[in-house]
Amino acid sequence: MENQKGRLAGFMLDMCCTPMIDVANELGAPAYIFFPSGSAPLGLMLHLQSLRDDHGKNSKECEDSDVEISIPTYVNPVPAKVWPAKVFNKETGFLDYIRRYRETRGIIVNTFLEFEHHAISSLSADARIPPVYPLWPMIQGGGEETDENKRKREEIIAWLDEQPHSSVLFICFGTNGSLEGDQVKEIAIALEQSGVRFLWSLRKPPPEGTIEFPGEYENPEQVLPEGFLRNTTGIGKVIGWAPQMAVLSHPAVGGFVSHCDWNSILESVWCGVPVAAWPLFAEQQANAFQLVKEYEMAVEIKIDYRKDSGVIVAAGTIESAIRKLMDPDNKIRLKVKELHDKTRAALVEGGSSHNFLGRLLEDIMDNAH
């Protein structure tokens, strides 16, 4: 970041680029961290880091236990079963990255005050934590689409156009999300038994031991129960890649089975679509806990699910959650609708995100003088 005279006003760093803080210090410029998730999990990680460094508590001792601890950014005690897996692994040095956040001039968080008021207030009240700037929405765009993806988008939207208002359940586990064959079959059984209309983004897991993204099935029937596609003709559509924001913003979509990646949560709030929470990895379990237990604005499928655990969620559990999610009288729909109405207000002049952006820019300009 430079001012008009070309003087360096500061560094804006990715959440894992904390070694660059040393470069900023050498150049006499302040460093800011961009944290792409929410302020509640940020508070969780900072608290666990403090417990380790200031009180000698080892997070590893809590792994696979029923331990719950009080975290300032949450109203309810947070069970260890929903902590990010990286906090248990000393070799990743993850909490070392988090510790260095305290050395920065500020932390920019992809959230907004009306959504995480308690968590943001808690962070702001802690003198050991730099100022927090909630600047949502920073929703990722789709980027340049290939001709093939454009064709798929048009086909998906055309199908949704034919469905009744708020009748379709959208199932999508994100760019990195996929499930193995046995779990896929349980989802299929649940969908067929529930009878709900659905749009299912079914992705093929990458080869084991690789770092590739999930791919596309040439023939989804190879992983689905026999007769599933035939039995659900007319009410369901199985796809591969999905234009998530375009789908969530379509009036036919009334529910979202999600892995609770933070961007997906914000997109669901922006579009006013309630969620059934099924996290896979990273901080998604903590996000799911926040939605289901803290805010009571999502249905739980299994908030402590971890993809590498080998656990299979039964069709009955999935079906029950789907029915609750798609129930038009479910109270979570009203909560999501109320929050949806507040999202636009955060952006306009005088709104919370607009005001925090002004404060951040003032701070940056003060540094440049």
The residue extents of the domains of the chain are 11-136+346-368, 147-343
pLDDT at 30: 92
Higher pLDDT, 291 or 354: 291
Q: Pick the more confident residue, 91 or 157.
A: 157
Q: Is the pLDDT of residue 138 over 70?
A: no
pTM: 0.92
- For the ranges 90-104, 195-209, 291-305, the maximum mean pLDDT occurs at 291-305
In the predicted structure, residue 206 carries a pLDDT above the cut 90 = no
Please check the confidence at residue 304 and state whether its pLDDT lies above 60. yes
pLDDT given at position 210: 76
Q: What is the CA radius of gyration of the chain?
A: 22
Question: Which tens digits make up the pLDDT trace of 322-352?
Answer: 999 999 999 999 999 999 988 888 888 888 9
pLDDT of residue 368: 65
Q: Which of 44-48, 135-139, 258-262, 359-363 has the lowest mean pLDDT?
A: 135-139
Asked whether this chain's domains 11-136+346-368 and 147-343 adopt the same fold, the reply is yes
Residue 344's pLDDT is 82
Residue 366: what pLDDT? Answer: 81
The encoded tokens of residue 37 equal 């998730």
Please return the burial class of 53, using the count of CB atoms within 10 Å of its CB with bins 0-12, 13-18 and 19+. middle
Tokens representing 210?
A: 């690789």
pLDDT band at 242; cut points 50, 70, 90: very high
> Phi and psi for 299 in degrees, rounded to 5?
-95, 140
The pLDDT value given to residue 2: 53
Summarised one tens digit per residue, pLDDT across range 140-188 is 555 557 888 899 999 999 999 999 999 999 999 998 899 999 999 999 9
Residue 90's pLDDT is: 74
Average pLDDT score over the chain: 92
3-state secondary structure the chain: CECCCCCECCEEEECCCCCHHHHHHHCCCCEEEEECCCHHHHHHHHHHHHHHHHHCCCHHHHCCCCCEECCCCCCCCEEHHHCCHHHHCHHHCHHHHHHHHHHCCEEEECCCCCCCHHHHHHHHCCCCCCCEEECCCCCCCCCCCCHHHHHHHHHHHHHHHCCCCCCEEEEECCCCCCCCHHHHHHHHHHHHHHCCEEEEECCECCCCCCCCCCECCCCHHHCCCCCHHHHCCCCEEEECCCCHHHHHCCCCEEEEEECCCHHHHHHHHHHCCCEEECCCCCCHHHHHHHHHHHCCCEEECCCCCCHHHCCCCCHHHHHHHHHHHHCCCCHHHHHHHHHHHHHHHCCCCCCHHHHHHHHHHHHHHHHHC
Do residues 199 and 171 make contact, with C-beta atoms less than 8 angstroms apart?
A: yes
CA distance 164 to 65: 45
Which one has a higher pLDDT value, 326 or 90? 326
Looking at residue 196, what is its pLDDT? Answer: 97
For the domain 11-136+346-368, what is the CATH code?
A: 3.40.50.2000
CATH 3.40.50.720 fits 147-343, yes or no: no
Q: What is the pLDDT of residue 367?
A: 74
pLDDT at 68 over 80: yes
Strand ordering across the sheet containing 106-109: 11-14, 31-35, 106-109, 132-134
Largest CA distance in the chain: 69
pLDDT of 207 reads: 84
Residue 310: other Cβ atoms inside 10 A: 8
Report whether 132 contacts 46 (CB < 8 A). Answer: no
**Which pair of structure tokens corresponds to residue 193?**
């038994």
Per-residue model confidence (pLDDT) at position 52: 94
pLDDT of residue 143: 56
The pLDDT of residue 292 is 97
Whose structure tokens read 């034919």?
Answer: 162
Cβ–Cβ under 8 Å, residues 283 and 262: yes
Residue environment code for 185-223, b if the CB has 16+ CB neighbours within 10 A, otherwise e: bbbbbbbbebebbbbbbbbbbeeeeeeeebeebeebeeb
Least confident range from 26-40, 77-91, 355-369: namely: 355-369
1 falls in which pLDDT band (50, 70, 90)?
A: low
Residues 248-288: pLDDT tens digits?
999 999 999 999 999 999 999 999 999 999 999 999 999 99
Please check whether residue 109 is in contact with residue 133, taking contact to mean a CB–CB distance below 8 angstroms: yes
